[in-house]
Every structure is written in C-alpha cells, then in structure tokens.
Structure 1
C-alpha cells in the first residue's frame, strides 16, 4: 500500500505505507546480517581489520570466552533464520488488514522469534568453545575429526525422519492454523506467539544448523545452501518432497565419512 501526496507541481508522489516500511526494515535487517557475515568471512580469507576480529573470535573459542562467539552466532542466526520466518510474518501481517493486530504486534512477534534464536546462538557458541577446547575444530569452526563429522551428518539425517521434526514442520508450513489456534490480541500475546514460533523453528532446524561444524560455521556457501533449503522445506508443496531425500543423503554422506575414517573406502 502507498500514500499519495502532491508535489509543488501537482504531481502525485507515492510514499510507502507503514506496513511497507515495516517490510523494508525487516529485509534491511536480513541484508545487514548477511553483509556483516560476509565481511567477517572476507576477513577470514584476506586479512585486515575484519581478520583481527576473527582472531579475537578464534581466541575466544579456545579460551571459552563466549561473548564474541555469541555475537558471531547471533549474526549467523539472523542471516539464516529470518528469511525462513517470512511466511509466518506475512500471515500475521495479513491479519493486521482485518484490524486483528497492529505494527507493534508484528514487531513483538519478530522480537519473540529472535529471542529464541539469540538463546540458541548462546548454545551454539558454547558448543563451539567446548569442541575447540577439545581440539576437534579448526580456528574457524570446521571439524577436525572424521568421527565428529560422521556423527553430525548421520544425526542430522536421522532427525529428518523424526516425529519431532515432522510435528515442527507441520506448524511451520501452516502459520495461519498456528495463529488461529493461539490467537490473543496485544503485543505481549504476539511476543508469546513469536516465542512459540521460534521454538518450533528451532525444532525444525537445529540439526541442520549444527552441520556448520562440518565445513566451518561461517562458510558462506554452506550458509547460503542451508538457508535456501530451510526456507523451501517450510513451504508445504515443495518441502514435503525435500525432507526425506535430504535425510537419506545426509545419512549416506555420514556413512561414507565413517568408512573412510576406518580405511574401508
């Protein structure tokens, strides 16, 4: 929607509506997260000030100082998980057209969703610190152990077939049903629904996010591929055709990795 105002020459100028500005801000947040991640990845490869930041992150992983690692994981989560939230947020925004909610409610929904992933980012940072102290990761978060790699791949593959994954995906694929079952007016209620949606999304995606330890937690190729897959998997018509084949592919890849570690391949 837009609002028309008249210029000095009498021509109409279309200005974005409040809802449009909200979407602009949301996508700007996603863009900012990806740009920040890309700058850090560039620093990893080419040096300069970003490389100094990466050096601090590496030291933090080895010494179990979590704040810098948490910031890195939070940026990664924002870049990867906010795009997957678009269908639910769009459904919520459509409800605002009926007067059922407001812009403050939409902001509260996003805040609740983000709070879950900020918490998950702290857990990811803790896992990276622990694995780094155990000597199982490179300084940039990639697995040094074929057995860890195999376990992550097989574990993520098996989770694709789990009841928990199926239940979470069912809710993610039907956001309107989710809101109809839990709807209450007001920003606090929207925040609570955002928390629930974040928990459901975490239930869908945590095992796939853990695969970052296979190739490096800030590997842009992996991040882009994982974001695309997790977004498509939440679409009803497309996602149902992807979940199980990807599960089998991950299990096979993990099995091959384990066989190579034992010398059979």
Structure 2
C-alpha cells in the first residue's frame, strides 16, 4: 500500500505540484537579502537597496509585496497540505480527476491572505513598526504578535480547523459533491484558520528570513499530523505566550 502510494505521487500532476513548491522556494531565495547587503544598506541608506530591486515596501510597492507574500504562502503552505492532497488524489482517482482544480482553489485562498498581509506590512512599515526588510522594529509589536499567536493555539477555531486538516478523507467525503474548486477553497480556508497567526510571525522572525520560514513550515506541517500534532499545538502556544510576555516586558521597561 505504501509503495503504491509513493509511486502514484510521481505522476505528472504531483510532479507539477512539486515544481511549484521548488520554484517558490527558489524565488524566495533569490529575493532574500544577504547579510552583507543588509549591512551596506544600513550604511548607504534605502536608496542603495532600492537600486538593487529588493522586494521591500519602499522599493517594490504594494503589488510587489503581494507577489512576495503569494510566493511565500505557496512555498510554506502547499507542503503542509500534502497529506490532504494525497487523500483527495486517492478519492479522485476513483471518481474522476479534479486534482489541479483542488490545488487552484487552495492557493486562491492564500492569494487572498497575501493581499491582506501585504497591506498590513505596508501599513506597519509606514507607521515605523517594521523595517524595509519586514522585520519588527518594536518589542511591543513583537510581543503582541507572539502573544496573539500563542493564545490562538488554544482557541476553539484553531482546534476545529486542525480537526478538519487532520482527517482529510472525512473532510472531502463530507463535501465531495461540491466539486474540486470548492473543496480546494474549503481546504484553503481551514488551512488558513490553522496557520494565519503563525504566518504573521514572519514580522517577528523576518519576512524574508528563509530559516524562519523553513522552521515555521515544518511546525505547521507537524501540527496537521494526527499522531504528532496534538502533542505540539498547546506546548507551542505556551512557548509563544511566554516569548510574547518577555518582549512586552522588555518593551515596557525600555
């Protein structure tokens, strides 16, 4: 059974999905600003960075940020949904295709998230809470985001969304008649319900910090696994709340 499953995940539509994920991470790598250029930017100012076409609010503008968040969402969230995609692929193999439209619906939801996240980044940058790299410049902002993400780990909405993500076969069986696009939208919505608060921690860890994105992706993927996720969600919430409290304490003292 496992060998057959692995072989089926080498079919063209799976290879196309893997290609999207790899291209997204490749694009993120190309957009990441190396440490030496960050140092040069600190010396020569924002005009130096703008001249390098770096994706920052002042250089790229809102649409550039939307594109960056879209790529980041695809790179981070598509891998976390692989078990759900596999469950749908098993069902659709018997009932007649639709895999690509499921993925389209899923990514459409995260495109909507990218639009809102880019607007939030632009607003926080204009208010001086974020650097041009998308990193928090305020311990108070960092503390609020960490505490919010930590508290959300204990919420009923998070638990309900994780329940759906951890049982993709039952999820799709319940909504199968709606078709692949609407199933993709539903899957994207419950995935967003699981992960939006953790995704916003990019403002704390660094919007273009590949290490942060990789760690966050792994944590979000593990949360969606039934046997592992239940042991991660609440402890992670405790760590985030404690980190947020520490940031808020230092911010108020400072």
Scaled by the length of structure 1, the TM-score of the pair is 0.85
Is the CA contact 1:141–1:213 (under 8 Å) kept in the aligned structure 2?
yes
- Determine the structure 2 residue equivalent to 1:101: 96
Structure 2 unaligned spans of 5+: 1-6, 39-47
Which residue among 147, 151, 156 is the counterpart of 2:144? 151
d(CA) in 1 for partners of 2:50 and 2:162? 37
Which residue among 232, 241, 248 is the counterpart of 2:231? 241
- Determine the structure 1 residue equivalent to 2:181: 191
Identify if the C-alpha distance between structure 1 residues 182 and 17 changes in structure 2 by more than 3 Å, giving closer, same or farther.
Answer: closer
**Which deviations, in whole Å up to 9, do the C-alpha atoms of 1:84-112 show, x marking residues without a partner?**
110111001111332x131xx10110000
- Determine the structure 2 residue equivalent to 1:22: 13
- Alpha-carbon offset, residue 45 of structure 1: 5.1
1:204 aligns with 2:203: no
- Determine the structure 2 residue equivalent to 1:31: 22
d(CA) in 1 for partners of 2:236 and 2:9? 40
Is the CA contact 1:142–1:214 (under 8 Å) kept in the aligned structure 2?
yes
- Determine the structure 2 residue equivalent to 1:57: 56
Which residue among 67, 70, 74 is the counterpart of 2:66? 70
Which is greater in Rg? 1
- Determine the structure 1 residue equivalent to 2:88: 92
Is the CA contact 1:138–1:144 (under 8 Å) kept in the aligned structure 2?
yes
| Matched length | 239
Scaled by the length of structure 2, the TM-score of the pair is 0.88
Structure 1 unaligned spans of 5+: 1-15
Which residue among 222, 228, 240 is the counterpart of 1:232? 222
d(CA) in 2 for partners of 1:30 and 1:51? 29
Identify if the C-alpha distance between structure 1 residues 245 and 18 changes in structure 2 by more than 3 Å, giving closer, same or farther.
Answer: closer
- Determine the structure 2 residue equivalent to 1:8: none
- Alpha-carbon offset, residue 218 of structure 1: 1.0
> Pairwise CA RMSD of aligned residues?
2.3
1:40 aligns with 2:31: yes
- Alpha-carbon offset, residue 46 of structure 1: 4.2
1:222 aligns with 2:219: no
Identify if the C-alpha distance between structure 1 residues 50 and 225 changes in structure 2 by more than 3 Å, giving closer, same or farther.
Answer: farther
Identify if the C-alpha distance between structure 1 residues 194 and 34 changes in structure 2 by more than 3 Å, giving closer, same or farther.
Answer: same
Whose relative contact order is higher, 1 or 2, with alpha carbons under 8 Å and at least 6 apart?
2
**Which deviations, in whole Å up to 9, do the C-alpha atoms of 1:24-81 show, x marking residues without a partner?**
1110110000010011114675489997221x533157xxx41100001001001100
